[in-house]
Amino acid sequence: MAEEPIKVGIISCAGEEIPEGTISRLAVRRVLERLRPGQAVTLCLPLFLAGDSGEREFARNYPTITVDGCDKQCAKWGTEKYSGPVNAAIVVTDLLRDAAPLSGAHSGRKLTDCDLAAVELVASGIVESLDRAAAEGFVPEEGAAAVSCGCDCSTPLPAGELLVDGERIIIAGLPLIFQQCSEDGLPADSADLAQRLVEAVAVYHPVPASHQDAYGLALARAYEAYLRSSQT
C-alpha cells in the first residue's frame, strides 16, 4: 500500500496593497497545483484570524508554513498567536532582495516576466520548506483535524468597504471575518464587538493607533448591517 503523503498547511499573505502579496498567493497556488499536488493544503488567513476552529486546529496539529509578503509577517504572527510555532516562515521581500524589481502589478493577469520569475523563486522556497517537513517524518496526533482547504490563493479575497472618518477604506477578507463572527454567534450588541473586530482586522490590515476607535465604530456598524442583510 502506498504511503499517504504528509499534509502540510500553507498560510499565505492576505495583503493586497503590496505586489509581494500577490506574488505570495500565486506562489502558494503554484506549489499546490503543480509542484507538490496532494502534499499540502492552503489555510485562509482572514478565516484563521477571525476564529475558524478548523483552520486553527489544523495549524496546531500539522506542519505549517507561512508565506508573508513583507517583514511585518502578519501570517506568521497570527498563526503563532493562535496555533503555536510554525515550521517555516518565508518572507517574499527577503527572497527577492537580489532579484529584478517587480512591476507593481496587483493582478495575476498583468504580471511581467520578472513577476513570473519571482513567483517561481518564491514557490521554490516553499517547496524546500515543504520537503524538509516531509523528510522529518511527521505523524499527526490521534484525533488531529481532518485535512481541509480554505481559500483560493490565486484570486483576490472578497473585500469590504468602510468609511472611517470620511475616508473610504477597502479591507481584504472582511466579509469572511463577518461570516465567521456570525457563525460563532457574536451578537451585534456585544460589549466588546468593536474591539474584537479591530483585533481581527489589525493583524493584516494596518490600523493606526490614533484611529482605532473610529475603525471600531465603522466595523461595528458594518457588521450590524451584515447581520441584518443575512437575515433577510
Q: Mean pLDDT, consecutive 10-residue segments, the chain of 232 residues?
A: 65 81 89 89 78 82 92 89 92 93 73 91 96 74 50 56 88 81 88 88 75 93 91 74
Continuous segment of H or E residues that includes residue 218: helix 212-230
Give the domain ranges of the chain: 8-135, 159-230
Q: What is the pLDDT of residue 43?
A: 85
The reply to whether the predicted model has a pTM over 0.85 is no
Query: Cell 497570527 appears where?
Result: 78
Percent of the chain beyond pLDDT 70?
A: 84
Q: Are 62 and 83 in contact (CB under 8 A)?
A: no
Q: Are 224 and 91 in contact (CB under 8 A)?
A: no
Q: What is the pLDDT of residue 14?
A: 73
Q: What is the pLDDT of residue 157?
A: 58
Kindly indicate whether the domain formed by 8-135 is annotated with CATH number 3.40.50. yes
Continuous segment of H or E residues that includes residue 159: strand 159-164
